[in-house]
Amino acid sequence: MNAPPSTDRWITRPRPSPRARLRLFCIAHAGGGASAFRGWADALPAEVEVCPVQLPGRENRIMEAPFERVGPLVEALADAVQPFLPLPFALFGHSNGALIGFELARTLRARGRPGPVHLFASGRRAPDLPADRPPTHHLPEPEFLADLRELGGLPPELLAHRELLSLLLPTLRADVAIHETYAFTEQAPLECPITAYGGVADPRVRRAQMEAWERHTAGAFALRMFPGGHFYLQDDRPLLLRTLSADLHRVFAALQ
């Protein structure tokens, strides 16, 4: 069983700011940790306190059991973000992180807690769309890793480091299981606007699947497509962060 959440383990704050007007909780892709957002705090507006989420089973939490289903994960994460809710916040999630962010927003709403003022959903089809490929999280290791390599999610140096790879494999499988076992339930759209980010050459997520996020907001919707594949945000980080900065300034304007 996973340990009760502790804010200092779940929420990292590389540049705490008592003058922040907005917190941006960032949730990484399958297998990714808070370090995926290294440098974001220096590149985004000073009024934004960037708060990368550190889920169990990765980086400094590598020895903790990862979650295999999204429901228990977002319940624990909702507890962890509780102390931060007095300040307006937005969510940025990439791939698996987009799904987690979406369900976190719905969980906070169900609890009667403040929700995000904006959701940035990156690199994942809209949550109500069914899977268009068979599951892989149960496959033997060679086939499972081959599928991740096709997506571009495994650096060559990690593949060459067998000991580290074997340590990370349970987390990778658990994260992919979160994605593949997710069952969408119909609810009212979120009140907050949604901006979907995607890569034009993503082999798994098509533009139309990103556009479908519009159905999940009662507010404004925008789609931003970037050069690159599923990990476009690593391939051209300066462009991504310039675009996100401009979008965050629009969020500030809406808050006034």
List pLDDT tens digits, range 188-204. Answer: 999 999 999 999 999 88
Share the mean pLDDT of the chain.
Answer: 90
Q: What is the CATH number of domain 7-255?
A: 3.40.50.1820
What confidence tens digit (pLDDT) does each residue in 81-114 have?
A: 999 998 999 999 999 999 999 999 999 999 999 9
> Quick one: CA dihedral 167, 168, 170, 171, positive or negative?
positive
Which among 54, 53, 41, 49 has a CA at the least distance from the CA of 24? 49
Q: Give the pLDDT score at 102.
A: 98
> Is 17 an annotated catalytic residue?
no
Which residue in 6, 17, 35, 95 is the catalytic one?
Answer: 95
238-244 mean pLDDT: 97
| Antiparallel, parallel or unpaired: β 118-122 and 48-52 | unpaired
Which residue has tokens 């299981």?
177
What confidence tens digit (pLDDT) does each residue in 245-256 have?
A: 999 999 998 887
Which among 41, 91, 42, 89 has a CA at the least distance from the CA of 196? 91
Phi-psi region of 221 (alpha: psi -120 to 50; beta: other; left: phi over 0): beta
Domain borders along the chain are 7-255
CB atoms within 10 A of CB 138: 11
Q: Is residue 229's pLDDT more than 60?
A: yes
pTM: 0.92
Between 76 and 31, name the one with better pLDDT: 76
